Amino acid sequence: MSMSVAAVTYRAGTPEDGAAMLSIHTRAIEFVAVRDYGEEMARSWAHGLTIEGYARSMADGEIFEVAVCDGRVVGFCGYKNDEICGLYVDPDFGRRGIASRLLERALRTLQDRGHRRVKVDSSITASPFYRQRGFRVIRERTRMTRGGMEIPTVDLEWHAPDAQTFTGTG
């Protein structure tokens, strides 16, 4: 029996979520992104991820939202200033709207804080996801992973809809 998205709740991430976020982050790279990057690049990308790294990012001002199903963190989105820093869902919970909802929540918060543009340095795996949600490709490039390999990535940018577009005439 499949789980509905209604069974998923969302809340602010805390340092105590670090172990779950590490597992999700690593599994998403090893089981999903590996299809586009291959095993060597995926290992290099996941290299050096630590539980403490998420708490450190939080202390440095990154905001995390997590998706929870049956008491288990199954996805997260991190963002800071005008940038989505990471968006990952456990592969066992993929294709259920969780990433879309996490992104919507992040974009709403960023808009509420006055950001009219939001950028993301996306994997080639996630680039179609962002494009389908209104992000535009700025450029394709490579970046160095924590493990020291260059991997292809895509810089994308989202522009908040102009509020005037939605007001009537007059």
Residue (of 125, 4, 168, 146) closest to 156 by Cα position: 125
If you average pLDDT over residues 2-26, what whole number do you get? Answer: 88
| Residue at 30: amino acid letter | E
CA distance 164 to 73: 38
Is pLDDT above 90 for 163? Answer: no
> Strands, E, within the chain: which ranges?
8-12, 63-69, 72-80, 83-89, 117-123, 136-144, 150-159
Q: Is the dihedral of CA 143, 28, 102, 20 positive or negative?
A: negative
pLDDT 10s digits, 54-82: 999 999 999 999 999 999 999 999 999 99
Give the model's pLDDT for residue 164. Answer: 43
Give the model's pLDDT for residue 170. Answer: 42
pLDDT 10s digits, 121-143: 999 999 999 999 999 999 999 99
Give the model's pLDDT for residue 168. Answer: 42
CATH class, 5-166 region = alpha beta
Name the band, by pLDDT with cuts 50, 70 and 90, for residue 161. confident
- This prediction has a pTM of 0.90
